Structure 1
Amino acid sequence: MSNNQQLLLRVQSMRFEAQGIVSVELVSPTGEDLPAFAAGAHIDLHLPNGIVRSYSLCNSPQERQRYVIGVLNDRNSRGGSRYVHEQLRVGATIPVGAPRNNFPLDETAPHTVLVAGGIGITPIYGMLNELRRLGRSVELLYCARSRQEAAFVADLPLDVVVRTHFDADAGCAPDLRASLAGVQASTHLYCCGPTPMLAAFEDACAALRLPNVHIERFAPAEPVVAMQGSEYECQLARSQKLLLVPAGKSLLDALLDAGVDVDHSCREGVCGSCETAVLDGVPDHRDGVLTKAERESGATMMVCVSGCKGRRLVLDL
């Protein structure tokens, strides 16, 4: 399914972190160090039920012997998180993709504000501890529906500013514009959480004219249609193949049907695993990973959801 480097890792431990949330510790069965990662990175779990899901790493990048992820038992699960909670067990070995990072942390920022919503705490928790380790100025705003559903809340540090907002206690959703008022323009802000919270965060930052804004999505902001209404050609530079992508078919499916081994996972344009270099043509970007500048450059595209604005694309495949 993927030509991304895969590791066969053992489930070393599973721990209850909050209502509906478990953490999973993965290690090499032979005790070897694992590939390095940076705060904000995620890994793909290739689950025995055939589903591939991406989960953020929440432990320290200094820990080379293990990966730790947090998994919410999503009520709308399509089989990934439900499998982890109901069937994955300590001692099992599963294929895991090497870490990738679509949510990189600027460790040189003069000040950083981290905003987490629910299970969005997983990459944010790793960022918080990494900035503390580096002695950087950082604060956290942690929002959840209730304290009982807030993973790692008991482990939050006492040496930085930590604010929490629990809807059940406050009787309302957080007012992010009020919470971020007074933040300096040089501050870098990061948010991970459900789609409505990300939208509110982006709106608040825009209203406050804060330029250094970073988000990570678990799901597309709106339903994505990966198929186009017209056909186009796709030239593969390395394999010397010429594909016709017909109307009503996604580029990813056309590539897979042609026997091209393409990294992919979410099929929603949010995990970044299918990012592919574009050598010619204008992509029709529909993903939730690339920045505006990256989209305008046209240098890469997410082939799982994106298409072509013209009649021809040339990809580095």
Structure 2
Amino acid sequence: MGSQPQPSIDLSSIDIPPPTTLEQIRTSKLRPFGPVLSGIDKQLRSGKLYVSPLGLSEDEHDLTFHGGPDKAIHQYCSSNYSFWHSLYPSPEILAKFVPGGFGENFVADGLNESNVCIGDLVRIGPAGSTLTGGANGCLLEVSLPRQPCFKLNQRFGIKNFAPRTHQEAKTGWYYRVKEEGWIHEGMEIRIVRRTQPKWSIARLHHYVHRDTKDDAVTEELAAIEVIGNECRKVFIKRLRKIQSKNARRSEAWVPFTVKSKSLETPRIVRLELERVRKSESPEKIDAGSHAYIKLPNGLRRAYSVVRGNTDCFVLGVARDDSSRGGSTYIHDKLTLGDTIGLASIGAGMSRDQMASNHIFIAGGIGITAFLAMMERLSNINQTFHLHYAVREASEVAFTDLLSRFSADVTIYDKSKGQRMNIPDILTNRVWNSHVYICGPQRMIDGTVEAASAAGMTSDEIHYEVFEGADTTGDPFTVDVLSNETKGPLEVESEQSLLDVMRDAGFDIGSSCGVGNCGTCRVPVKSGRVQHRGTALTEIEQKTEMLACVSRGIGHIVVGLPE
């Protein structure tokens, strides 16, 4: 993996803490909880309870997020509640920070996120005994940190509280069951074996959420099989990105063929692309992603992925008569069997995982940005509603996919005088809703204005203008300041600054390819810029530009990102 810097935190071995006492055992049935069902409201149990491979008897889980062998039982340190008291002293919230508040099964003190390690074997049973199983208790294995979801925000009535818990490394942890048995409150909790002495729950949180750039740590954690799948997959996915970095830098265009092409509406084409050489294990494409492609005529464009995996996926492309050839080429000239190059599939509009409800506002082709996200939300039992504006009924795209969510979709047909009342939608929103907009600029401006009037903050809204990311324009020249100034480089009408800088050997990152994520930003040293995309604020536009979509005017001088 090459030379690596020193770790960003201390990774020395952690001693096994003394045994402690199981203070409380809690279980629950699934009950309505805000907009969803949840088992977070766990009640105190007394007497003997049986521990099976799926957890405690009479404890129900929403298997979308919780339960299963890796998440059979959740434990939380009782002394953490005094920490939350100090941060949230208001009486209304204070009363909620009591044992059981985090939806834990086991309440105990002494063991915490800093002294419990992944893979620890933990015996719960009579003190002074080493026996396990049956009446002698059970044997558990620490499997992964809890990754808090939006339900904690709902539980305590605090927006964005869930990410605060992993920032402070006070989330608790999960067990998998290694040996079944009967337990009761008052039994001893003892760590009997430690196999990963440097990987505490708190340290895992650090590398999952904060330090994501340490390649050596990523490789090490991806190889630790005792880490539960949910957490380990984070490092495996990160490792794959590291391993493919050289290919991305050289921007090797992976050949795909046009498998199918059909009209969704008179102005929108459904395009299915299939990889020429199949991969051994294609991955499902994340909801909200964009595919950056090169057409047979040389034009390069980014489009929202409607659905699919890295070997075969579907795009939706709207005809834009004002564009310089991307959409018109796809509509008029692209045929079955044609070869298209794929540079990357990058992140675009991501789901706010801390929101209790999701509101999608789309106009025209903007629907493509949301379809995969709606499918994902439906699969994990989260609530959402799509508000979709079209000029007439024939312009409703991807009706086969929308029909699955008919109860959660409202279509506004302009030809019938139907109008989307955005202020009313936002004023009457569910608590802790997140709003996503994809459509023309006037729709975005109206939604942002209505959101502000409805008391929403900027971090509760995500928007993008997405018309196929036309990066073309008047040609310009650029000097690139690095160790040795290189230039002037010529950026032709059909090229982007990103393409030209990469062709010249500069390692410029990119993800979405449409100006929404900000990964490709470069500093502007001199010259005027025609700014496009939504990733930069007005202040940032004074000193930076987005290399994937923005264009220089005449001649500009840029630097390299730090």
Q: 1:187 offset after TM fit, Å? A: 1.0
Question: Which one of the candidate residues 48, 55, 69 is aligned to 2:303?
Answer: 55
The residue type paired with residue 270 of structure 1 is: G
Question: Which one of the candidate residues 214, 226, 232 is aligned to 2:462?
Answer: 214
Name stretches of at least 5 consecutive residues in structure 1 with no aligned partner. Answer: 246-251
1:241 paired residue number: 485
Answer 1 or 2: higher relative contact order, Cα 8 Å, separation at least 6.
1
Residues 264/77 of structure 1: CA separation in 2 closer, same or farther (3 Å cut): farther
Q: Could you tell me how far apart the structure 2 residues matched to 1:83 and 1:226 are? A: 20
1:113 paired residue number: 359
Bigger CA radius of gyration: 2
* Residues 142-172 of structure 1: CA deviation (Å, up to 9, x unaligned): 1111110110134322475211111111x25
Residues 48/205 of structure 1: CA separation in 2 closer, same or farther (3 Å cut): same
Question: Which one of the candidate residues 176, 180, 186 is aligned to 2:432?
Answer: 186
1:44 paired residue number: 292
Higher share in helix: 2
Residues 36/314 of structure 1: CA separation in 2 closer, same or farther (3 Å cut): farther
The residue type paired with residue 300 of structure 2 is: V
Question: Which one of the candidate residues 96, 109, 123 is aligned to 2:369?
Answer: 123
Asked if 1:133 corresponds to 2:379, the answer is: yes
The alignment covers a number of residue pairs equal to 299
Q: Could you tell me how far apart the structure 2 residues matched to 1:133 and 1:53 are? A: 30
Q: 1:225 offset after TM fit, Å? A: 9.7
Asked if 1:198 corresponds to 2:425, the answer is: no
Residues 226/16 of structure 1: CA separation in 2 closer, same or farther (3 Å cut): closer
2:533 paired residue number: 288
* Residues 108-132 of structure 1: CA deviation (Å, up to 9, x unaligned): 4211111111111001111111111
Q: Could you tell me how far apart the structure 1 residues matched to 2:464 and 2:486 are? A: 34
Percent of paired sites with the same residue: 24
Residues 260/316 of structure 1: CA separation in 2 closer, same or farther (3 Å cut): farther
Contact 2:263 2:270 (C-alpha < 8 Å) held by counterparts: yes
Residues 52/178 of structure 1: CA separation in 2 closer, same or farther (3 Å cut): same
1:133-172 alignment, distance < 5 Å = 133-156=379-402, 157-158=404-405, 160-169=407-416, 171=417
Name stretches of at least 5 consecutive residues in structure 2 with no aligned partner. Answer: 1-248, 490-495
Structure 2 length-normalised TM:
0.45
Residues 134/295 of structure 1: CA separation in 2 closer, same or farther (3 Å cut): farther
Q: Could you tell me how far apart the structure 2 residues matched to 1:87 and 1:227 are? A: 25
Contact 1:218 1:270 (C-alpha < 8 Å) held by counterparts: no
Q: Could you tell me how far apart the structure 1 residues matched to 2:450 and 2:277 are? A: 48
Determine helix, strand or coil for the equivalent of 1:102.
coil
1:249-264 alignment, distance < 5 Å = 256=500, 260-261=504-505
Q: 1:24 offset after TM fit, Å? A: 0.8
Residues 284/197 of structure 1: CA separation in 2 closer, same or farther (3 Å cut): same
Is the deviation greater in 155-164 or in 131-140?
A: 155-164
1:30 paired residue number: 277
Contact 2:522 2:546 (C-alpha < 8 Å) held by counterparts: no
Question: Which one of the candidate residues 69, 75, 81 is aligned to 2:315?
Answer: 69
Question: Which one of the candidate residues 234, 253, 265 is aligned to 1:6?
Answer: 253
2:345 paired residue number: 99
Contact 2:318 2:467 (C-alpha < 8 Å) held by counterparts: no
Q: Could you tell me how far apart the structure 2 residues matched to 1:148 and 1:312 are? A: 47
Q: 1:241 offset after TM fit, Å? A: 2.9
Residues 257/187 of structure 1: CA separation in 2 closer, same or farther (3 Å cut): closer
Is the deviation greater in 120-129 or in 202-211?
A: 202-211
The residue type paired with residue 136 of structure 1 is: Q
Q: Could you tell me how far apart the structure 1 residues matched to 2:292 and 2:478 are? A: 31
Q: 1:31 offset after TM fit, Å? A: 2.7
Contact 2:360 2:437 (C-alpha < 8 Å) held by counterparts: yes
Q: Could you tell me how far apart the structure 2 residues matched to 1:259 and 1:14 are? A: 31
Contact 1:54 1:271 (C-alpha < 8 Å) held by counterparts: no
Determine helix, strand or coil for the equivalent of 1:39.
coil
Structure 1 length-normalised TM:
0.76
Determine helix, strand or coil for the equivalent of 2:374.
helix
Q: 1:46 offset after TM fit, Å? A: 0.9
The residue type paired with residue 12 of structure 1 is: K
Residues 202/243 of structure 1: CA separation in 2 closer, same or farther (3 Å cut): same
Q: Could you tell me how far apart the structure 2 residues matched to 1:183 and 1:8 are? A: 45
Contact 2:365 2:467 (C-alpha < 8 Å) held by counterparts: no
Determine helix, strand or coil for the equivalent of 1:109.
coil
Q: Could you tell me how far apart the structure 2 residues matched to 1:232 and 1:94 are? A: 29
Q: Could you tell me how far apart the structure 2 residues matched to 1:77 and 1:233 are? A: 28
Contact 1:10 1:29 (C-alpha < 8 Å) held by counterparts: yes
Contact 2:265 2:395 (C-alpha < 8 Å) held by counterparts: yes
* Residues 41-86 of structure 1: CA deviation (Å, up to 9, x unaligned): 11122112222121100115xx343111001122323211111111
The residue type paired with residue 191 of structure 1 is: I
Determine helix, strand or coil for the equivalent of 2:375.
helix
Residues 291/111 of structure 1: CA separation in 2 closer, same or farther (3 Å cut): farther
Determine helix, strand or coil for the equivalent of 1:38.
coil
Determine helix, strand or coil for the equivalent of 1:49.
coil
Q: 1:6 offset after TM fit, Å? A: 2.5
Q: 1:218 offset after TM fit, Å? A: 2.1
Q: Could you tell me how far apart the structure 2 residues matched to 1:256 and 1:316 are? A: 16
Contact 1:72 1:81 (C-alpha < 8 Å) held by counterparts: yes
Contact 1:35 1:99 (C-alpha < 8 Å) held by counterparts: no
1:81 paired residue number: 327
